[in-house]
Amino acid sequence: MKPSIKWALIGSMASLLWLALEYVVGLHDKYIEYHPMVTNFALLIPILTLRQTVEDTKALYPDLTFQRAFSECAIGVLLSTFLAPISVYVFFKYVNPDFFNSFIQYTVAHADQMHVTKEKALQRASSYFNFQMYMIQIVLSTLFGGLLISVIVAYLQTRNQRAKQ
């Protein structure tokens, strides 16, 4: 199996497990105030899977170039971008269907900290915390964030190869 396909599948499953772990730990309700900080650690998933994609590709092609490393990562990113909405749908449908409601309620409860009325907080939160908006965010962040990480990983993983030339 191509490294890009293998690691895109692993990364997609890891992302789904990460969401489930956030839920089980209570970051979607009991400890919701910590969610914005802790969820950033999920960035390790694409970083590590793209790095491993390049490592596995390097094992197949010892004279790995930046272009080949990046293209292999880009294939993985495109597949991950396709799989991300499916994983997220499964999570919101079967694991935590109350996700958006919890975040809306939390936002409204803390409206005074944002210096807005509860009505305004509800309006803003409802337009932000919904399935359609989350799908747009997940697709765009997976695609563009993944491509950015791919450039960095491919560069770092092939810089020694360029130095030898």
74 Cβ contact list (under 8 Å, min separation 6): 147, 150
CA of 136: how far to CAs of 69, 116, 140, 144, in Å? 27, 26, 6, 12
> Residue 71 carries which side chain, given as an amino acid letter?
S
Give the pLDDT confidence of 12-25 residue by residue, as tens digits.
999 999 999 999 99
Q: Which residue has the tokens 């092609």?
A: 61
For 63-79, write each residue's pLDDT tens digit: 899 999 999 999 999 99
pLDDT tens digits for 145-165?
A: 999 999 999 999 998 665 565
Read off the tokens for 145: 């964030």
Percent of the chain clearing pLDDT 90 (strictly above):
89
Q: What is the pLDDT of residue 1?
A: 85
Domains in the chain, number = 1
21 phi/psi in degrees, rounded to 5: -65, -45
pLDDT digits (tens, 9 = 90+) for 18-62: 999 999 999 999 999 999 999 999 999 999 999 999 999 999 998
Task: Look up the domain containing 57 and give its range.
Answer: 3-164
pLDDT the model gives residue 161: 64
- pLDDT tens digits, one per residue of 68-124: 999 999 999 999 999 999 999 999 999 999 999 999 999 999 988 889 999 999 999
